[in-house]
Structure 1
Amino acid sequence: MPDISVTARVEQVYREDSRRILATLIRLLGDFDLAEEAMHEAFFVAVERWQRDGVPDNPRAWLVSTGRFKGIDVLRRRARFAASKPLLIAQLEALEQADWSDEDVEDDRLRLIFTCCHPALAADAQVPLTLREVCDLTTEEIARAFLSAPATIAQRIVRAKAKIRDAKIPYQVPTLAELPERLDSVLRVIYLVFNEGYSASVGAEVTREELTREAIRLGRLLLQLLPESEVMGLLALMLLHASRRRARTSADGELIVLDEQDRTLWDAQMIAEGCALVEAALSTGRFGPYCLQAAIAAVHAEAPTAGETDWQQIVGLYDVLLAAVPSPVIELNRAAAISRRDGPLAGLVLVKAILDRGDLQDYHLAHSARAEFCRQLGRVEEARTAYERALELTQQMPERRFIEARIRALK
């Protein structure tokens, strides 16, 4: 029987480092599926070897080396039967002679993101592929985030992997000259990774801290690489949202809405860093949607209490953001801000207009907003109907319990 402590250590390393290990194996082996197979083989071997020999000083490097040799073994077996034997032999020789350092691992996930977001790949495949390979989200979790069928997402991922292999898309960070045109899709991917961590689409917990932490780390790496205003804006936005993490749930894991959060639990260091990045980004005069969203988050962060929030300034920022990036989700957020400035009826009119034209019908937060405005206006049955629709669309357990409590409280 494997030692429980060793098994637990292997599981811990998998949780914390499997995506870094996979990214490095993809670089070394040049094949997504082979790298994933080799990584899982390495973890399987680790359970037995670490039990016998002890946990190595650098588990990540041990797993990369073991996975690399497992991948080489697979290629050797293929070379015995493949018609393209000379090519495989050349690939094997290159792999066996290649040097690698554990220091390279830290940059491999950034290389992997740029590979997954390569312009040769279909736009609708870039984000799902990155979320699957970089962040280990399941196909089902990605499908929920995109309001798509799991089979559709799976097909996009398979096609993208084949394109990378067949087109020999390089596994590298673009040159400085290429970076700006490649930046938008990378920023979008990092923010989606963060959002899945900040507000998990499914599961028993509100947040997945490892994803928010990884998205912020990737944002910092990207800022070192390309100190542009929108990179600053995205990093600021993530820091300002992440600063509220400890206040977003109660001790027993229940959801706490923004107005009711204990602001003394907000991370002052993250807020200071985020606000400084917002100022630096806005001072360039070249700012886009991430800078504007970060500016909105900064207004919230700087308010000593919920009642002292400058809703007029927030509405003004949403006006600019909506003009720059027309989006029903931004409209919804603007409606929520207007309701705080002008009252729940003003918010309800705007949300009803969004839903009546067919937008956000499957977005639970739109129905939750409508329910909340109706509740504040005393429209009990309308509120109940909207809350029940939101509940149907919600997969996260704390959110479900929050909505159920709202329904029970309706008089």
Structure 2
Amino acid sequence: MPVSTIFLLTKKFPFGHQEAYLFAELAILKQQFDKIVIIPHDEFEYDHSKNRVHGEDKVVIFEVNRQLKKTSIATKWQALKTAKKWYKIDLNKRVKKDEVVQHKLQYSIQMKHAFAQAEAVRKFLEDEFEDLHQIVLYNYWLHRGVLLSARLKQLVIDREVAIVSRAHSYDIYHDHWFDMFKEANPKFLPFLYFKLNVVDKIFTISDHGKRFIKEEYKVPTEKIEVARLGVTDYAKANEQSRDQSELLIMTCSWVTNLKRIYLMPEIIANIDKKVRWVHFGSGHDDNLQKLYTEIDKYNLRDSCEVKGVVPHRDIIDFYRSNYVDLFLNLSTVEGIPVALMEAACFGVPLVATNTVGNPEIVNNENGIVVPVDFNRENLAKMINELFADDMQVRRKRAASRKTFEEFYHAEKNYSNFAGKLKNWF
């Protein structure tokens, strides 16, 4: 019998402003399932004014961290005993002997919280879904939600439970994650080997991710499948006329050391044409200051607009209202950025580093691929050469749109993926 209710475990979605790319997938899930239960396991405030799906039909939000009960001594003891089994493989594989005690503490804290969350979800299922005998727990990230899922599966032995998870970027390439969060401890994501073992299927968003998990962690090929993300086809609106007097260049990401938005001013300073650069996204004060220092260094305040964090619809409206000439992604590591998919949807030529999954969406047909350690002046030269040739620009715009249509169309990708979940059992 097809699955009628899907349980989607997110970090914070639909609260706050993160994980905005889930909207396109949610629209397709609503077509395939009678009910979507979203469990944002890393959200604690549950500010209803920031609930971005408030009032949507078929969607139920379970505020799991509001339902946690005081953990009994018996439950704490069970968590510790189970944690011992779950983290043994990880510690043996990944931790030096003199660090074991420190890491056991970190593992035990996560396990205790996952146990409490799982008990809250078990009670929720008992109260609201008593007759649901087949459950698909769909983890959007290969993170702590998988621990919750694993414990829940132990608790509901009278039901058939499947645990599946997507795997993106930072939940796979952990070394780069801790380049961002240097104070984080331990220097890897706890329970990784356990999570890879307990999930029934891992859906990576890129071919690179699939190869990496298979080769790095020796996960069987049949347990990993590529399920690409996608974006809604927004580009049915008419395309604006190009302003020949300047280039409109766009970037969209958090302002972090990994995203390297601070490299943009030097690139722009070496482009022959007048440039208007628009960036969507913000960051911590120190990273923003680093960016503005570079902007001032090249005297580009009048050419740059850092718009900060805006509603997703504002970004789409910007594409619809403007002829964007070029979109850049300069990251040191990426899965496959949704921002590149959106730019491709509008037929915008793409520039990206050849890191991880980027070459799966950006190539010499639809844009420019550069090494991670690229030379800024050389990239500016390539951009100059591109926009000196109108025919080449038109070819790349057509190729960019074609990339979207063939590989990153939300309705196609998410319908296929949702169908797999719906017919899991």
TM-score, normalisation: structure 2: 0.26
RCO higher in structure (CA 8 A, sep ≥6)? 2
Relative to the length of structure 1, the TM-score reads 0.27
Report the structure, 1 or 2, having the larger helix content. Answer: 1
The structure that has the greater radius of gyration is 1
